A = this chain, B = another copy of it.
């Protein structure tokens, strides 16, 4: 297990931990979430669609770079993503997938080899794990990590910019910070445009359509301490709400927390 978490450090050992974890996932021996694993490595959100919808979804990502920062894309029918790693196979390399049929998540599986079609196109989107690592390196503490829980995730009333059948509300992850820490977190995440970038809101949750901050869409009720304000980042789960709206006959996403382990370093994604 330590081998797959990685100890950070030099580039080689970071990449080795990623490779080991990806091999374990591919072999079906690691089926849990990849949160906190392969430290230093970019993890990705996944969307797989038929080729006929690919152009629209690519446009959708371009129009909504904060929730959908596109960092890799496959050729039709080809499950490899050379831009993100030499040996990536999107059919086997995530520890959990969700199958969507006509807009409903019907199954959660650990391998999609049996579902793969010749016209499938895979999209890999940046993930907040990358900027969370940068925040921790700066000494900021995130409550959900401190408390060992899933992230606090909310549905908002902030619409995405539609493209073809793809539309829907922005989903956000929330991290509570004191104002000085929030300012620091904004500074840092603004340097990571490919992994959601700066937040989209802070403070009053009702301004983005969140009626009850203690009742997330996903994750436990958050602990927000006196003097802290909630800060909201666009989240890579947004495409899953978009799949529900688009109602394609068939689509696949990652199962939240079960991300694609790439061979790219978080450090490469900083613009600073």
Residues of A within 8 A of B (CB): 179-180, 182-184, 186-187, 190, 198-204, 207, 227, 229
**Contact partners of A183 in chain B: CB under 8 A:** 186, 198-202
In whole angstroms, how far apart are the Cα atoms of A180 and B232 in the complex? Answer: 10
In whole angstroms, how far apart are the Cα atoms of A202 and B182 in the complex? Answer: 9
Check if B198 sits within 8 Å of A187, measured CB to CB.
Answer: yes
Shortest C-beta distance, A91 to chain B (Å), equals 38
Given contacts A183-B200, A207-B227, 5 further A-B contacts (CB under 8 A): A180-B200, A183-B186, A183-B199, A183-B201, A190-B190
- 8 Å CB contact of A179 from B180, B187, B203: B203
**Contact partners of A201 in chain B: CB under 8 A:** 179-180, 183
Number of copies: 2
In whole angstroms, how far apart are the Cα atoms of A179 and B202 in the complex? Answer: 6
SS class of chain A's interface: helix, strand, loop or mixed? mixed
In whole angstroms, how far apart are the Cα atoms of A100 and B212 in the complex? Answer: 54
**Contact partners of A182 in chain B: CB under 8 A:** 202
In whole angstroms, how far apart are the Cα atoms of A257 and B128 in the complex? Answer: 43
In whole angstroms, how far apart are the Cα atoms of A203 and B226 in the complex? Answer: 13
Residue pairs across A and B with Cβ atoms less than 8 A apart, 14 shown, are A179-B202, A179-B203, A179-B207, A180-B200, A183-B199, A183-B200, A183-B201, A183-B202, A186-B190, A187-B190, A190-B190, A202-B202, A204-B227, A207-B227
Check if A203 sits within 8 Å of B229, measured CB to CB.
Answer: yes
Shortest C-beta distance, A177 to chain B (Å), equals 11
**Contact partners of A200 in chain B: CB under 8 A:** 180, 183
**Contact partners of A187 in chain B: CB under 8 A:** 186-187, 190, 198
When C-beta atoms are compared, the residue in chain B nearest to A232 turns out to be B179
When C-beta atoms are compared, the residue in chain B nearest to A158 turns out to be B180
Shortest C-beta distance, A234 to chain B (Å), equals 12
In whole angstroms, how far apart are the Cα atoms of A55 and B161 in the complex? Answer: 55
When C-beta atoms are compared, the residue in chain B nearest to A200 turns out to be B180
